[in-house]
Structure 1
Amino acid sequence: MITQKGQSIEDKSMEIIDSEIGTHPYSPDEWTIVKRIIHSTADFDFARDNKVVFHKDAIQSAIDALQKGCNIVVDVNGVIGGFNKDNMKKFGNQVICNISDPIVIEEAKKLNKTRAQTSMRLAAKQMNRGIVAIGNAPTALVEVVQMIKEGLTSPALVIGIPVGFVCAVESKDELRASNVPYITNIGRKGGSPCASAIVNALYKILAARKSS
């Protein structure tokens, strides 16, 4: 629960972002998400060169899934650290991260894959009709896209915003070419705080709709 002082700082930050960015091409709901990413990173590139890209069904699909208590599958524990846990409690959403599971570690060694890849395979059923939030590992995003192609899972939304120099750009390109609702960005930038910010923003949109 945010304090009054904390809320005033957040509100001021959002005002600064609005004033500095000026005009932008995003819808109100999309801007809620992009603005929260900028707030978490202090990086205006997410509205410019490294712009955030939305599948046309992304926000509605995610809102519907969250309301139904869907799972939220993440690639690393760092994404969980940025979540507003009150939201999950309110709607009964379970957060799943298998990156440190001994089974994942052993299987990754055996198959010569990354733990992130293997952890996604382990969560195939749990991410079905749920939200996948990837902020750190491009190989996790590649694996999820491949699993969708194989018909092993069908998430309501894939948030694919991994950071990095190896495969980060390519993994996002593959996501945009897929037939799943997605939120991603152009380029190498990203990170766990971005993935967390997107999920938190989706809850804000959901709360605004329920109160209207």
Structure 2
Amino acid sequence: MNRAFVPEDRVVHPIEQESFRRLRARLDTSHFPPLTRAVVERVIHSAADLDYAEDLVMDEGTLERAHAALHAGAPVVVDVEMVAAGITRRGTVCRLKDARSGPGLTRSAHAVRLAYEEVGPGALWVIGCAPTALEELLTLDASPALVIGLPVGFVGAAESKAALRESGLPAVSNVSMKGGSAVAAAALNALLYHLAAPASKEKS
């Protein structure tokens, strides 16, 4: 496995190594730039779904800036505890248990408001469950370092991700209605695990 994808102090289980070997045998990811490749591969690994290689939308420059913010200690906010459970090596903020629904406001949307009051601008937001959480985030002046917007569902998921892309915010999203907590956490983990390295080494 490319060392640029694995921190020196992270022990990779042989099953994970074999999984990535088989993934790369079925899908050539070598044309992707380093961070994009890391996100694509880890999302596919989490879902066993090769179609994510064409479904995901992201920009390498955006990922580079988000990677720097993440490793400089920027807060990570998640929409549900299932996303938090999938993110390793970093604490997260999730305010869903404190949130209440009301007229025109879901618990997930209220949780986003509460989280923003807590962390302020510059956070990384990881939304893998509720389209309404993503919709609410887009109404705030959150100035995020990155929005990983991968909510899943037949109602509102694809639409909320399209709105995220149209917003111009730094983002990782996908075009289809699929997504979920596991893939959203995987996208963030890809940035956590990736070592900054000289370009000549990352291409090896």
TM-score tier by shorter-chain length is: 0.7 to 0.9
Q: Which residue number in structure 2 is paired with residue 138 of structure 1?
A: 131
Contact persistence 2:36–2:60 (CA under 8 A): no
Q: Structure 1 segments of 4 or more deviating over 6 A?
A: none
In the alignment, structure 1 segments of 5+ residues that lack a partner are 89-93
Shift of 1:12: 0.8
**2:123 maps to 1:98:** no
Give CA-to-partner distance per residue, 1:17-62, whole Å, 9 cap, x none. 11101367532320111110111111111013xx111045321221
Q: Which residue number in structure 1 is paired with residue 108 of structure 2?
A: 116
Q: Which residue number in structure 2 is paired with residue 43 of structure 1?
A: 49
TM-score where L is the length of structure 1: 0.83
**2:165 maps to 1:165:** no
The 5 Å alignment of 1:1-212 reads: 7-22=13-28, 26-48=32-54, 51-85=55-89, 88=90, 94-101=91-98, 104-105=99-100, 108-109=101-102, 111-125=103-117, 126-147=119-140, 152-205=141-194, 207-209=195-197
Give CA-to-partner distance per residue, 1:38-95, whole Å, 9 cap, x none. 11111111013xx11104532122112112211101000000111113xx2xxxxx41
SS of residue in 2 equivalent to 1:209: coil
Contact persistence 2:33–2:60 (CA under 8 A): no
Shift of 1:155: 0.6
**Structure 1 Cα separation of the partners of residues 29 and 73 of structure 2:** 35
**Structure 2 Cα separation of the partners of residues 180 and 38 of structure 1:** 24
One-letter amino acid of the structure 2 residue matched with residue 194 of structure 1: V
**Structure 1 Cα separation of the partners of residues 120 and 77 of structure 2:** 6
TM-score where L is the length of structure 2: 0.86
In the alignment, structure 2 segments of 5+ residues that lack a partner are 1-8
Task: State how many pairs are aligned.
Answer: 190
Contact persistence 1:71–1:127 (CA under 8 A): no
**Structure 2 Cα separation of the partners of residues 84 and 119 of structure 1:** 22
Q: Which residue number in structure 2 is paired with residue 91 of structure 1?
A: none
**Structure 2 Cα separation of the partners of residues 24 and 153 of structure 1:** 34
RMSD: 2.0
Percent of paired sites with the same residue: 37
SS of residue in 2 equivalent to 1:60: helix
Contact persistence 1:56–1:181 (CA under 8 A): no
